[in-house]
Structures are given as structure tokens and as C-alpha cells.
Amino acid sequence: MLDKTDTHLEALLRRRKPGYSLEAPFYTDPDIFASDLDLIFGRHWIYVGVEPDVAEPGDAMVIDIGKTSVIITRNDDNEVRAFHNVCRHRGARVLQDYKTSVGNLVCRYHAWTYDLDGKLLFAEHMGKDFDAGCHGLKPVHIRSLEGLLFICLSDDPPADFDDMAARMAPYLAPHDLKNAKVAFESELIEPGNWKLVMENNRECYHCAGNHPELTVPLFAYGFGFAPEELDDMGRLEAQRYADLVKASHGEWESCGFPSQMIEHLDDMVTGFRTERLPLDGAGESHTGDTRAACRKLLGAINDPRHGALHFWTQPNSWHHFMSDHVVTFSAIPLDAERTLVRTKWLVHKDAVEGVDYDIANLTAVWQATNVQDAELVGLCQEGARSPAYEPGPYSPHTEMLVEKFCNWYVGRMRAQGAR
Amino acid sequence: MLDKTDTHLEALLRRRKPGYSLEAPFYTDPDIFASDLDLIFGRHWIYVGVEPDVAEPGDAMVIDIGKTSVIITRNDDNEVRAFHNVCRHRGARVLQDYKTSVGNLVCRYHAWTYDLDGKLLFAEHMGKDFDAGCHGLKPVHIRSLEGLLFICLSDDPPADFDDMAARMAPYLAPHDLKNAKVAFESELIEPGNWKLVMENNRECYHCAGNHPELTVPLFAYGFGFAPEELDDMGRLEAQRYADLVKASHGEWESCGFPSQMIEHLDDMVTGFRTERLPLDGAGESHTGDTRAACRKLLGAINDPRHGALHFWTQPNSWHHFMSDHVVTFSAIPLDAERTLVRTKWLVHKDAVEGVDYDIANLTAVWQATNVQDAELVGLCQEGARSPAYEPGPYSPHTEMLVEKFCNWYVGRMRAQGAR
Amino acid sequence: MLDKTDTHLEALLRRRKPGYSLEAPFYTDPDIFASDLDLIFGRHWIYVGVEPDVAEPGDAMVIDIGKTSVIITRNDDNEVRAFHNVCRHRGARVLQDYKTSVGNLVCRYHAWTYDLDGKLLFAEHMGKDFDAGCHGLKPVHIRSLEGLLFICLSDDPPADFDDMAARMAPYLAPHDLKNAKVAFESELIEPGNWKLVMENNRECYHCAGNHPELTVPLFAYGFGFAPEELDDMGRLEAQRYADLVKASHGEWESCGFPSQMIEHLDDMVTGFRTERLPLDGAGESHTGDTRAACRKLLGAINDPRHGALHFWTQPNSWHHFMSDHVVTFSAIPLDAERTLVRTKWLVHKDAVEGVDYDIANLTAVWQATNVQDAELVGLCQEGARSPAYEPGPYSPHTEMLVEKFCNWYVGRMRAQGAR
Ligand code: FES
Ligand code: FES
Ligand code: FES
Ligand SMILES: [Fe+3]
Ligand SMILES: [Fe+3]
Ligand SMILES: [Fe+3]
């Protein structure tokens, strides 16, 4: 039976076997989950949404991470701000709805009233000795990377966010996310630990057998393969795919779309990966017919054939930037065995629903894929509960990035002094 | 992260900051909740219902407090008795329904049969050596204060119940609760710790903004106020209210209705508070039109304008006695984050529904108010879960009695040796 | 409050009072429940189903015990095999449905493919260094006793299964279970600890008052009784019943149906009990009219009047073998306070529904009885939660076998070094 003393987690981290999935407690133990929330989600940059979620001053969005509830809002100077969603009087949650629009932030209980910078403007009956200046909403660190919003719950956020931002901004800028709008969003509770959700996202070994919709726009040779298993025809197609990637990179970069792979998944605190890759068929978008789902393209893009730029961040996000739309995913741990995945589809803010795009067509591929992935994650969670589970080997050809996710996780836990 | 060793609770109690709400673990920690059940609900007088709940011999009511289930019944000598609801054979729960009427108390499993005094009358097949005399239902202490029933799960109940009873009996007697009937009762599970439910009840700072129905019969100046925030008109109205209270007390006391405030909320083991206060409008009752909801008045009362006598007990009850009806509330902790509030509306036992009173009119104000309070309690519970929560200041003008509730709680926990 | 240190369970086991029900933590404490799963359900032979559940090669059934999920299947050599239901790649559950039929065992995630003997046949992209021979499904011990399937999760199963099997086979053989089929099965979650489910099964003291259907075919004097409580008429009837049992045993044994009681409920590791007993009325079956529910009798039986053979095993099964059908029960602990009871009704495999038997008639008595027992178990669970619960005395005349169940449990826990 699991020895849950503090040294246990430390021992589990220390004896992690490279190239193999994690030991079961990492997926099932509520104490390790609490450490994950504290050391990973409490001390790193967590992707939570996009600037278009709070497009106008007074727009507000509530994000819950573990037991922490955060208000993200836009102040009257058009700056995005974040605060703890806890009244400084008797601690009531200030905002309840996921998204609202407000003038000030008013607590319902006794009407304490805060402005959009968190300052306490008004509190009745508190007497002469009360100092309103000490009772503003507590701020939370927030950063926008070309419209992607990251918060950090720690007082001392990782500094290398700036390095990532400097490298990534040129890749994202052409898609002009700040001038996009959320056309649709979905919430899906996947029945597994957040790390199983991330591992599932970090490989496409499972795609051929499970994602009939997603494998239409994606090239199978992009998933990785064991070279020795290829026949002559396979070798030819693999080479053809490699050539296409190289040619596309050259073409796109020459017209201002950075495309080359950058990968710091396990050698930065704010780990990330990006690459722009060609798509199959018409080559335009993650849609059922591989064509753009939105007639009005993003930013100043005028050719729909720019493939798909993927952008991943540790510990909890992945994004696909295409010429016509962006799909963006944030994974939020709920408990040791459940994870919320929020997916948003964004199009140009001037695109008109029913004219320029159709929601069903825009969202079909990833709505289906998310549900398929949730089921797979659930199978692994059920397996991890069994005493018969033991870490299994990752494929050296298709699961290298799962391995890097685990490396990052184990490294960050140890760096934070997990015990 | 919370250190849940035994000394932790002791340390939290010791460092409690006067004038501020409690630290978060008091509202969220299951271990402290267990201590609350043990030290507060296991060792003090707990209000559970009224004599009219068990009006006739053989009437029985089941009350669950934490893991303890208690049968309250009336024996053939018309005495109210209480027993643990656990069969002495293999431990089956004896009564399942909230309220029933029985001849004897018969366990369904193997038909062991106890009389209304808990004595084992009959047990088949137990053999010659079996001593039925040692296998009666275990008794629980129970007391009636003018028809309000209090139980104590401890073998050694607080002795000052008698002091409270002696002080309170003259206030309650004119309403003759023993000759009332329960016209309606409701159960509401509030989504918060029982202390948040009690704190909510102990102030009306939140009433103006949240209770449109309740603030019709209540005078706003009775909620407390910061004098320095009053303008000239406000000062005049506050003075007018103070004069009305004084005049009403004189008038009511002269005709046999004790009215002056008595308050021992934090200086007695069995803490309580009472006062008879005037009502607004017609001044008769907690109703939408401030008029009596029942034509037949309680006891021998013949004038409906007797305001409302409130009676509070620590740790778990509040009551409003009016000329036409009584509303009585008992708060029962379910777990660290949920509390059952039972509300009963009582009228004269000879009043006829549809003729003398209408249930919807009788219950409208407090049904609405309970739901509003439950929502506010839920907001505080959600806030208390956040690591960003910290104790906030009580208003010295409107939250003095919340402070006294916390004082009583902290004092009683320390007196019981909480560790 | 319960001291949950390791020595606690040891102390509770050591001080167990003979002749009395267990102390409350045995029924309510999640830590003791975990020990039960580990020491009882993890190290003894657990009854899980029947050979007809996996009648053909490729048929598979999934059985979950605690956190362990097991696949039971029949291979191409017609042998019943059992494996842990955990993929050796990244740990996904391999089979999800309770019952299926498959060619190979294929993991849905990345299509690793195992044959019906658990051998890994196929795994893509794993590279040159991967050794498929080390990555087969992990086997689980399984034995068939005349068609009743028992598994043991331990590497070192109790050896005395063979002794039990040798004694029991002649009793069971005439009913030819391997050539029966499951006509109906039900799952019922009883709201109590698995030991309360078993204790309930081990006595019929509760039958007269709770099982109107079951007491039609059963003789009341078979339930046990206190001789000193009998009047003259009672003594006569008791003697008449004893004579009937003796005469029936003689008759049945002479025509090849072993009938005499064998009982090793608390003196074998694989404890069991059996006896063939006469039935009331027509004397044929556990049905509403006491007549056979299936016209085609089991095996080569040609006379329906063979009473009912009961067979009990520690820790989790009971079975009734009649001439026309078999009812078989397996109790699987879900958590400290919930137990799954699976009931299967089997008839001759060539019997035709609607012609030879009617499901409603076949299942009526035990469907009703199960629901009644679940309710009684729930009453005891609720009682055991109360601090007022204390172990009560077993009847020396009707609860001897409950006592033996507790003896076996306590003895096995101590023998496994429970602490
Ligand atoms: S709790 Fe927010 S105003 Fe009182
Ligand atoms: S448990 Fe109450 S009579 Fe047996
Ligand atoms: S987890 Fe089974 S094939 Fe990958
Ligand atoms: Fe996927
Ligand atoms: Fe209120
Ligand atoms: Fe039964």
C-alpha cells in the first residue's frame, strides 16, 4: 500500500524511469494532486483564455484553478487585470458567473464596492477606524502573449515568460488574435488526471485508430513512425511529407509567417513548442473538408493556405493557429481524476455568423476529437487505479514529446522542492 | 498548506483575532468540522423541534445530528422522551421516517420490541442467559422550554439551561407554544458551514440589499448603523425608532408581555438573546402586508400588535414569536460545507387552514428569506475555500452579534479542550 | 474518536467479543475497508461467476474487485483464463463492457493486440529494442468448481481450495452447471458494508418478519429456534421437520445426490458449508408456488423433488442448487458502506424461454428477497454509524453461523498480519 509520507513523493520523483509512463500515484493520489496544484498550477504561467473573452472595459471572466477563484477583467484604461475573487469583508465570492459585464465589482453580501482596478470605493457602517485603502481586492499576475492570457498565482512568477513571448510573438502576430472574437466555446470534463490529458495531447500515436475527423486534415507521417516498419511505398511517402514540410516552411517564412520548429518543452521553466505544418487535402484548416471554415481571414492574411501553427505550453495548453480561425485549449485540473478542458474557436471579429462562417462546420473536427480523447483518457485513468498497473514504455518514434512533458513535470516538481 | 495536527486547531483558536471573521479552516476543514460535532453539537443543548411535533403519545420524530440519530417520542404518561435510534441487537436503525406514530418501538430486522420508555419488552430466540433488562434503548437528555425542545448528546449536559429557562419562560409563555400546531415546515440545505449560517443569522447588515420581503415588516434602524454616516433626516428617524422601541416595551410589559432585551450570547455556556421589538406597517407579523397571518391568535393573546419577540440560542437556533404565529429555525451541520435549516411555522392548534390562515401567506416572508440567505452563505463558503481568503473586519455597528457568536464558539471550543 | 493507527485494527481484532456483532469501525472505517480488500479479497478465493458466463472461445467478462479489474475469458483451447485488465503500454483499461465477445484483446488507445492467452501479438512503432515477450497481459489465478468460477488476486492462493473442491464436487455434479445457461442476472448495490451483507445471508432469524416470498418454500423450523420458547405444538412440528430432513437425506443419497451437511465455515482458509434440505409445499423449487420454474431439469435429473442444496463460501458467496435451476450470488465490496450483489439464475442450456420457463416466475422469490435484504443491511449500516452503536449479542439458536462468519473474518485478518 502506498506510503503517503512526505518523502514518498520525493522518492517517486527521484526514481522516475526515463522513457516510461509515470507511476500510478501521479495519476490517482489526492495528496500528489494537491502538490500538483500547489507546485505546478500555483507557481507557473497558466493559460486561461484570450483577450477577446474580456473585449470591453467592464467585461469580466471568472477562472477557477483548484480552490482559487480569479476575476479577469478589463479596466477603463483598456488594460487586462486579474484579482482574487474574494471579498475583503467576510470573504464572499464577488462574481459568480463565468462571464459578465460590470461597472464596478460589487459584493452581493453587504455591498462593498471595488473599482476595476480592485480598489475599495465604498463600504457602509465600518466605523471611523476602518482603512479602506488596506481592503482592496488582491491582485493576481496576468500577461497577454499576442492576446493569449496567462496568469500566475505565485507572488514570484517565472521570469522566462518574456523569453517565450519574444520568441513566439512573431509566429502569432499575423493571426491578430486581439482582433478576433470567440465564435464558440465548449467545456468538457475529461475523466482523468490532468497529466493524462496532457500526455494524450502530446502524441498522435493514437490518432489513426481514434480520430477519423482529425486525421482528414492531418498528414499521418507527421505523427512519427518507426522507420524499420516502413515498406518501400511508406519510405517514399515519408520522404514526400518531409519535402513538403521543408518547402512550405520556406514559402511561408519568405512571406512573413515564421514556421520553423522551436522546442523548449523540457529545458525552460515556461516550456513551450511551436511549428507551422502543412495540412492535407485543400490544406487550409482543421475542418471536415480541409477548407477554411471562415471566409473572412484573420488579421491581414489573404491566402488561406498557411497550414496550421501549433503552439503548446507547459503545463496546460495547446493551440492551433490557422489562416481563418484559431482553436485554443486550456486544461484545468478539477481533482486527481477529473480535468476541465475549455476549447475556444476564434474568428475575425468582423466575420458574421451564417454569412462568413457556420458554427457546426467551424467546430466539428475538434468537438469530435475532444470527446474521443476524453474517452481514451478515461481508459488510462481506470487502468492507473489498478494495483496491476505499472509504467509502460513510450514509443521512441511517436511518444518523444510525452516523454518531454513528463521530464518537465518531474523536473519542475523537484525544482520546487516537492516532498 | 494546512498543518492538520491536533495542535493546529488549538493554535487557530488561540490566535483568533477579535473583531474579525474566523480563519478559513473553521469553515472548510473536515477535521475541525468533526471537532465541532464532538465539542459543540455533542456537548451543548441543541434545539431540535417543538412539543407539537410529537403531540400525542406514540408520536415519534427522528433527528439526526452528525452520525447520531435520535428518536424523540411522547410516552403514555404524556412525557417527551429521547433515545438513540440504534437497536441493541445488531444495531439496526429502529425508526426510519422523520415523523411517525407507533405503539411500541419495533426493530424491523428481528422484531426486538421496546416500549415508549425504551425498555426491551420482547426478543425472540435469545436463549436462557439473555438479560433483556440490559438491552433497552439508550436514553438521550431532552428538555422542553415552553414547548421548544432541546437535546444534549452528552452524559453531562450544561447545567445553566435552567438559568436560561427561568429567564426565558415568562417571555415565551404568553405564546403558549404547547397548544400550537405545526402548520408548515421546510427543510433547506444551505451550501455552507454551519457557522456561516449562524453568522448570517446574527446580523442584518445584509438585509437591505438582499431581503426585499423581510424588510417590509422590519425597521431598518433596528439593523444597526454607523452614526457618523447619518444625515439630519437619518438622525431624526433613528431617534424616532429608539423612542418607539422604548414606548412599545413599556406598553407591552404593563400588559404581561416581557419585552426588554436579555443578552448572554457569549457569557453563558447556554448562550442566548431575546428582545421584543416593534414591527413596521400594521406592526402585527412577519408577513407581506405586516398584518397577522392567522386570525386565531396564540394562547390568550387578543391584540395582534405585539411586535415580534426574537429568541436566539447558541449554537444553532433562532425564533420569532408573534401574536398570531411562531417561526422557529434549527440549523443542523451536515458536513463542513453543508447545513440543514429546518423552519417551522406554528399557529394556534384550533386555527383552521383556509379559514383562519393561508399557508402561502403565512410562510411567504421566511421562505423567500431563507433561500436568499442560503445563497449568501454559499458565496462565503466559496470564498473561504480560496487560499486568498483572509479574515475580514466586522462592522462595529452592525456585526457585534456575529462577533459574539464567534466569541462563544471559540470560548466553548477552548473550554472543551479542543486540540 | 477512533485511533486509526495501524495498531488500532490489530487491537480491535484482538479484543473481539465472541458471540457479539463486530465493533462499528469494521462496518464504517475506510481504512479497515482498505485492509479488507487487501487481506481478505486480495488473498482468498473469490467467487465471481460461472462458466456459462463465458460459454464460447473469445467470450469475455470483466470483474472489478476494489481497484482491480480482471478479464475472464475462454481461450481457443476452451480453457477459462483470467488477466489483469490493464494494457502494458500506457495502462489503459483493455475491455470496458461487462460482457463481450472478441477475437483478440485489443487496446483501443494505440491498438496493442493480445491473444486470448494474454500474449502481446502486435505493437506498432515501438522500435528495435522493444521486447514484446515481456509485455503480455498479467495473469490472474482462476479455478472452476463444477462451473463455479473463483479467482485469487494473490500470487500465492490458498491451497485448500482443492480440499473444498474434492468435498463439494459430488454435491454439485448432478446439477451439471457447465451445461446450464444464465437465464437472468441482476445487480443490486446494497447500502452497507460487505460484512453486513454476509451476516444478513448467514441467518434466517429475520426471514419470518421480512421475507414473505422466501418463507413460502422454506420450512420455518430450518431457521433455528430457542427450544424453551416452543409450546407442545411447536415441539411436535420441530420434531416432524427433523424427521423429514433425515428421511430426505437418506432417500436422496441413495439415488446419487449427496445431501448431508458439511461445514467448515471457520476452520478452513477456504471456508464453506453445504447441505441439501427439503422444501415446503410441492417441495420442488424457490418459487412462488414451490414448483419447478423450468420444465427441463438440470443435468440428468428426472425428478423435481430434490429440495435445495445450499453452498456457501467465505468470504463472499452463496448458492442454491435445485433440480430445475441454480441461483448463485456473489458479493463484491464497493466501499466501506456499499456492496454489489450479483445474482444469476441458471437453467439447462437447452431450456427455451417462454416454453420451458418464464423469467418472472423463475426470479420472483429472490428478486424480492434481495431487495428486502438490501433494506435491512442499510438499517444496520445506518445504526453502525452512530456513536451509540455497540456490539449486540447473537442468538445462540439462530445466529451461530453469523458468529462463524465473524470468527472466520477475524481469524483470517489476524492470520494475514492485519495491523
Ligand atoms: S462579504 Fe462582501 S460585503 Fe460583506
Ligand atoms: S437488529 Fe434489531 S432486532 Fe435484530
Ligand atoms: S495504452 Fe494500450 S496501446 Fe497504448
Ligand atoms: Fe487525441
Ligand atoms: Fe438574512
Ligand atoms: Fe434475508
For A54-100, what is each residue's pLDDT tens digit? 999 999 999 999 999 999 999 999 999 999 999 999 999 999 999 99
Dist CA B93 CA C59 (whole Å) = 44
Work out the number of other CB atoms within 10 angstroms of the CB of residue C303: 11
Q: Which atom of ligand 1 is nearest to the CA of A90?
A: 1
3-state secondary structure of C356: coil
Q: Is B93 in the pocket of ligand 2 (CB under 6 A)?
A: no
Single-letter amino acid code for the residue at C203: E
Average pLDDT score over residue span B298-325: 97
- The whole-number pLDDT of residue A4 equals 42
CB B372 within 8 A of CB B190: no
Residue B418 pLDDT level (bands cut at 50, 70, 90) = confident
Please, how many CA atoms are within 13 Å of residue A246, restricted to the half-sphere of its CB? 6
Interatomic CA distance for residues A45 and A316, integer angstroms:
9
Mean pLDDT of A322-326: 98
Are the beta carbons of C24 and C32 closer than 8 angstroms?
no
Nearest CA in chain B to A125: B226
- Closest CA–CA distance from residue C43 to any residue of chain A (Å): 14
What are the φ and ψ backbone dihedral angles of A340, each rounded to 5 degrees?
Answer: -90, 125
SS3 state at C98? coil
Going by alpha carbons, the residue nearest to atom 4 of ligand 3 is: C110
Q: Mean pLDDT score of chain B, rounded to an integer? A: 96
Say which residue the cell 447588515 belongs to: B205
Question: Nearest by CB to B393, which of A108, A130, A138?
Answer: A130
Give the chain A residue nearest C127 (alpha carbons).
A226
Phi first, then psi: what are they for C271, rounded to 5°? -70, 145
DSSP letter at C37? Answer: I
Cβ–ligand 3 contact at C410 (below 6 Å)? no
CB neighbour list of residue A260: distance below 8 Å, 6 or more residues apart: A249, A253, A275, A276
pLDDT of residue A2: 43
pLDDT of residue A106: 98
B397:A38 CB<8 A? no
B6 pLDDT higher than 50: no
For cell 444469476, the residue is: C344
Q: State the pLDDT at residue B364.
A: 98
Q: Rounded mean pLDDT of B255-279?
A: 97
Q: How distant is the Cα of A388 from the closest Cα of chain C, in angstroms?
A: 7
Q: Is the CB of C108 under 6 A from ligand 3?
A: no
Yes or no, beta carbons of C93 and A1 under 8 Å apart: no
**Ligand nearest to the Cα of A212, by number:** 4
pLDDT class for A417, splitting at 50, 70, 90?
confident
Instruction: Determine whether the shortest distance from the Cβ of C110 to ligand 3 is under 6 A.
Output: yes
Q: Is C89 in the pocket of ligand 3 (CB under 6 A)?
A: yes
Q: What is the identity of the amino acid at C112?
A: W
- Interchain contact B92–C (C-beta under 8 A): yes
Point out the ligand 1 atom lying closest to the alpha carbon of residue B383: 1
C125 closest CA partner among A400, A239, A266: A400
Split at pLDDT 50, 70, 90, the class of A419 is confident
- Tell me the one-letter amino acid at C415: A
pLDDT at residue C398 in the model: 97
Nearest Cβ partner for A93 among B21, B224, B379: B379
C110 neighbourhood in chain A, CB within 8 Å: 205-206, 209, 395
Residue B87 in contact with ligand 2 by CB distance below 6 A: yes
- Closest ligand 1 atom to residue A112 Cα is 3
The ligand placed nearest to the CA atom of residue B372 is 5
3-class secondary structure per residue, chain A: CCCCCHHHHHHHHHCCCCCECCCCHHHHCHHHHHHHHHHHHCCCCEEEEEHHHHCCCCEEEEEEECCEEEEEEECCCCCEEEEECCCCCCCCCCCCCCEEECCCEECCCCCCEECCCCCEEECCCCCCCCCHHHCCCCECEEEEECCEEEEECCCCCCCCHHHHHHHHHHHHHHHCHHHEEEEEEEEEEECCCHHHHHHHHCCCCCHHHHCCCCCCCCCHHHHCCCHHHCCHHHHHHHHHHHHHHHHHHHHHHHCCCCCCCEEECCCCCCCEEEEEECCCCCCCCCCCCCCCCECCCCCCCCCCCCCEEEEEECCCEEEEECCCCEEEEEEEEEECCEEEEEEEEEEECCCCECCCECHHHHHHHHHHHHHHHHHHHHHHHHHHHCCCCCCCECCCCCCHHHHHHHHHHHHHHHHCCCC
Q: How far is A389 from chain C (nearest CA, A)?
A: 6
Among residues C45, C101, C62, the alpha carbon closest in space to that of C342 is found at C62
* pTM for this entry: 0.95
- pLDDT at B10 > cutoff 70: yes
- Nearest C-alpha of chain C: how many angstroms from B335? 15
Q: Name the A residues in 34-53 with CB < 8 Å from any B CB.
A: 34, 38
Q: Which residue has cell 481504512? A: C31
CB contacts of A88 in chain B (<8 Å) are 390, 392
Residue tagged 481568503 (cell numbers): B389
Across the interface, whether the CB atoms of C384 and B91 are under 8 A apart is answered yes
Which of C226, C388, C397 lies closest to B86 in CB terms? C388
Residue whose C-alpha is closest to residue A363's, from A414, A400, A326, A310: A326
Supply the mean pLDDT for chain A.
96
* Residue owning the nearest CA to atom 1 of ligand 2: B90
Enumerate residues 312 to 341 of chain C having a beta carbon within 8 A of any beta carbon in chain A. Answer: none
Counted across chains A and C, CB pairs separated by less than 8 A come out at 92
- Whether a cis peptide bond, with omega within 30° of 0, leads into B315 is yes
Sheet bearing A68-74, strands edge to edge: A80-84, A68-74, A59-65, A99-101
pLDDT at B7: 52
Site from C35, C62, C90, C153 to mutate, A interface, most A CB atoms within 10 angstroms:
C90
Interface probe for C, chosen from B31, B64, B67, B90 (most Cβ of C below 10 Å), is B90
Specify the 3-state DSSP secondary structure of C277: strand
Confidence label for B417 from pLDDT (cuts 50, 70 and 90):
confident
> So what's the pLDDT on residue A339?
98
Phi and psi at residue C197, in whole multiples of 5°?
-65, -45
State residue C7's pLDDT score.
52
With beta carbons less than 8 A apart as the criterion, state whether A142 and A224 touch.
Answer: no
CATH of domain C161-418: 3.90.380.10
What's the count of helices (H) and strands (E) in chain B, helices before strands?
9, 17
Subunits in contact with chain A (3 or more CB pairs closer than 8 Å): B, C
CB < 8 Å from C in window 203-242 of A = 205-206, 209-210, 224-226, 228-229
Residue C87 Cβ contacting ligand 3 at under 6 Å: yes
**Chain C residues near residue B125 by CB distance under 8 angstroms:** 205, 224-226, 229, 395, 397-398
pLDDT of residue A8: 87
Residues on chain B touching C384 (C-beta within 8 angstroms)? 91
| Residue C107 beta carbon below 6 angstroms from any ligand 3 atom | yes
Q: Which of C1, C205, C383 comes nearest B87 by C-beta? A: C383
Q: Closest ligand 3 atom, CA of C111? A: 3
Give the model confidence (pLDDT) of A6-32 as tens digits.
Answer: 458 999 999 999 999 999 999 999 999
Residue A199: the pLDDT is 98
Check if C235 has its Cβ closer than 6 Å to any atom of ligand 3.
no
The Cβ-side half-sphere exposure at A286, using a 13 Å CA radius, reads 25
Per-residue pLDDT of chain C (419 residues; tens, 9 = 90+): 344 444 589 999 999 999 999 999 999 999 999 999 999 999 999 999 999 999 999 999 999 999 999 999 999 999 999 999 999 999 999 999 999 999 999 999 999 999 999 999 999 999 999 999 999 999 999 999 999 999 999 999 999 999 999 999 999 999 999 999 999 999 999 999 999 999 999 999 999 999 999 999 999 998 899 999 999 999 999 999 999 999 999 999 999 999 999 999 999 999 999 999 999 999 999 999 999 999 999 999 999 999 999 999 999 999 999 999 999 999 999 999 999 999 999 999 999 999 999 999 999 999 999 999 999 999 999 999 999 999 999 999 999 999 999 999 999 999 998 87
Strand order in the sheet with C46-50: C46-50, C148-152, C141-145
B45-143 belongs to which CATH class?
Answer: mainly beta
Q: Does the beta carbon of C127 lie under 8 angstroms from any beta carbon of chain A?
A: yes
CA B121 to ligand 6 centroid distance, Å: 24
* Nearest one of B323, B320, B279, B319 to B297, comparing CA atoms: B323
**In which band, very low, low, confident or very high, does the pLDDT at B3 lie, cut at 50, 70 and 90?**
very low
Ramachandran quadrant class, A226 (left: phi over 0; alpha: psi -120 to 50; beta: rest)? beta
Of A34, A91, A125, the CB nearest to B226: A125
> ipTM value of the model?
0.93
- CA dist C256 and A159 (Å) reads 85
Instruction: Give the ligand at the shortest distance from the Cα of B373.
Output: 5
What pLDDT, on the 0 to 100 scale, is given for residue B263?
98
Q: Within chain B, which residue ranges are assigned CATH 3.90.380.10? A: 161-418
Strands (E), B278-394: 308-313, 317-321, 326-335, 338-348
CA B107 to chain C, closest CA, distance in angstroms equals: 10
CATH 2.102.10.10 in chain C, residue ranges: 45-143
- Strand B46-50 relative to strand B59-65: parallel, antiparallel, unpaired? unpaired
**What pLDDT digit, counting tens, does each position of B331-351 carry?**
999 999 999 999 999 999 999
Quote the pLDDT of residue B419: 77
Candidates B151, B77, B144; CA nearest to B116 is B77
Residue A5 has pLDDT above 60, yes or no: no
Give the ligand 1 atom nearest the CA of A87: 2
CA distance C237 to chain A (A): 54
In this model, does residue A233 exceed pLDDT 80?
A: yes
Q: How far is CA B8 from the centre of its chain?
A: 29
Report residue B411 as a C-alpha cell: 470560548
**What is the residue with the minimal CA distance to atom 3 of ligand 3?**
C110
**Partner residues linked to B71 by β-bridges:** B62, B83
The reply to whether residue C205 touches residue B125, judged by beta carbons under 8 angstroms, is yes
- Written as nine digits, the cell of A208 is 489513426
B61: left (phi over 0), alpha (psi -120 to 50) or beta: beta
Residue C69 and residue A210: Cβ atoms within 8 Å?
Answer: no
Which residues in chain A have Cβ-Cβ distances shorter than 8 Å to B17?
none
